[in-house]
Amino acid sequence: MPDDAKRFFRYVLPGLACLTELLIVLFITGDPALKTLTSSDGGSKFIEILVGALVASGGLGFLFSAVYFTTYWVFGRWLAVDHAPSFREAGFQLPADFCRREGWDLMSQIWHSQVKNPAIEGVTPVTARLSNTMHGLGTTATGSILVFTLWFCKWGYDLCPFQLALGSAFWAFVVIAYVFSFLNCRASAQTVINSTLLTVLRERQSIIEHSEPIFFVSSDRRDTIECRLEPRPQFRRVLPE
Torsion of CA 108, 112, 114, 119, to 10 degrees: 80
The answer to whether residue 7 scores a pLDDT higher than 70 is no
The count of domains in the chain is 1
What are 18-40's pLDDT values in tens digits? 989 988 998 888 877 666 665 65
Where do the DSSP E strands lie in the chain? 214-217, 224-228, 234-238
Report which of residues 105 and 234 the model is more confident about: 105
What percentage of the chain has pLDDT greater than the value 90?
39
Rounded Cα distance between 82 and 193, Å, is 10
Domain that residue 124 falls in? 3-238
Q: Which of 23-37, 41-55, 99-113, 137-151 has the lowest mean pLDDT?
A: 41-55
Across the range 164-190, mean pLDDT stands at 95
Contact 90, 205 (CB under 8 A): yes
Q: Please report, rounded to a whole number, the percentage of residues in the chain having pLDDT higher than 70.
A: 74
Of the candidate ranges 20-24, 94-98, 122-126, the one whose mean pLDDT is the lowest = 94-98
Mean pLDDT computed over every residue of the chain: 81
- pLDDT at residue 192 tops 90: yes
Q: Is-contact 53 179, C-beta < 8 A?
A: no
- Comparing 226 with 140, the larger pLDDT belongs to 140
Q: Which of the pair, 200 or 41, is modelled with greater confidence?
A: 200
Q: Which helix (H) or strand (E) holds 173?
A: helix 161-207
Which band of pLDDT confidence, cut at 50, 70 and 90, is reported for residue 51?
confident
Confidence of residue 98 (pLDDT cuts 50, 70, 90): confident
- How confident is the model at residue 8, as a pLDDT? 66
Residue 174, pLDDT > 90, answer yes
pLDDT class for 9, splitting at 50, 70, 90? low
Instruction: Compute the average pLDDT of residues 113-130.
Output: 88
